[in-house]
Amino acid sequence: MSEAIEPERARTGSAGPFRQFAGRFCRHKLAVVGLAVTAALILTALLAPLLSPHSPYSVSDTFSSPPSSRHWLGTDPVGRDVFSRLIAASRVSLAVGFATVALYVTAGTLIGLVSAYVGGWVDLIVMRVTDMFMAFPFLMVILVVVSVLGASLQTIVFVLALFSWPTVARLVRSSVLSLKEQDFVKAGRALGFGAPRILFRHLLPNALAPIVVNATFGVAGAILSESGLSFLGMGVQPPAASWGNMLGDAQSLTVLTDQPWLWLPPGLMLLIAVLAINFVGDGLRDALDPNG
């Protein structure tokens, strides 16, 4: 009888914290809306070939034409369908955001874990290297590196990740420094647990909340950074479409005043995506707050 009760208690105990988290998150109405919008954007990016009425790279015989039944958001100066390019751009912009965050969060988490746990001269060297990276003027260095390596999707992801990991490393380090002297870590050492087990099974799960929140805001930041670089001509290069280089194609005063269909859609998509992801980050921060 007791053996039958224990699994039920385990299931109840494991589901309890998740239900509490979900309840706190759902109380943040903007976060729920942001999550729905983010999910819709991701689904749109995944289904882009099916949703696009035209190829984003095909050129028609109508140049800079206004919205019509054939081209719902008009065409650009080359004759490409703006709506199809807008959908294709979602794949690029979201891919840059999520890939960049995946890289720098992984690197920053590992560096912060090892630095705080080992301590001593290792921690001192790692923190000085971190300070050095944080001292660089972010945009200027990225522009220089991209101009040297060449503008491409892979280069943008690599460069953005290269100069974004220090924040996560410091965040993880501060969490681990406060955790590693607690009784459960000392008990693990006394039982002979190895450093990898203590780091990844005991310390990392307890330091996960600020990492998740930082990663969520980081996606929005990476999308904005990529859009800024593409707007300056140092990001994703045509004919590939991103929201940033679509805005870059509309820099002239004539386009701004007479052809709003060239810049309003990508500008609105960028605004909606960043706001939605930031709302999700706000909701996660509140839901993961133990005092919430």
DSSP 170-186: HHHHHHHHHHTTSHHHH
The answer as to whether 34 is a domain residue is no
Q: Is the dihedral of CA 89, 93, 94, 99 positive or negative?
A: positive
Cβ pair 89, 243 in contact under 8 A? yes
CA angle 202, 207, 213 (to 5 degrees): 145
Residue 224 located in a structural domain: yes
Residue 100 inside a domain? The answer is yes
Query: How confident is residue 170, by pLDDT bands cut at 50, 70 and 90?
Result: very high
Give the residue numbers spanning the domain of 138.
39-53+64-287
Return d(Cα 127, Cα 170) in angstroms, integer. 8
Residue 23 lies in a domain: no
**Is residue 20 situated within a structural domain?**
no
Q: pLDDT value at position 15?
A: 54
More confidently predicted of 258 and 108: 108
Helix axes 120-135, 82-118, angle to 10 degrees: 150
Question: In the prediction, which pLDDT does 41 show?
Answer: 94
pTM of the model: 0.83
Q: Is the pLDDT of residue 71 over 70?
A: yes
Phi-psi label, residue 137: left if phi above 0, alpha if psi -120 to 50, beta otherwise: beta
Q: Tell me how far apart the alpha carbons of residues 20 and 15 are, in angstroms, rounded to a whole number.
A: 9
131 lies in a domain?
yes
What is the reported pLDDT for 13? 47
Mean pLDDT of 31-44: 94
Residue 292 lies in a domain: no
Spell out the alpha helix ranges (H) of the chain: 2-27, 29-46, 48-51, 82-118, 120-135, 138-149, 153-162, 165-179, 183-190, 195-197, 204-206, 208-231, 243-248, 253-258, 264-287
At 281, which CATH number? Answer: 1.10.3720.10
pLDDT at 118 over 70: yes
Q: Backbone dihedral region of 67: left (phi > 0), alpha (psi from -120 to 50 degrees) or beta? A: beta
Instruction: Note the Cα 70 to chain centre separation in Å.
Output: 34
Least confident of 20-29, 79-88, 180-189: 180-189
Average pLDDT of the segment spanning 177-203: 77
Q: Round the average pLDDT of the chain to a whole number and report it.
A: 83
Q: Does residue 193 belong to any structural domain of this protein?
A: yes
Structural domain count, the chain? 1
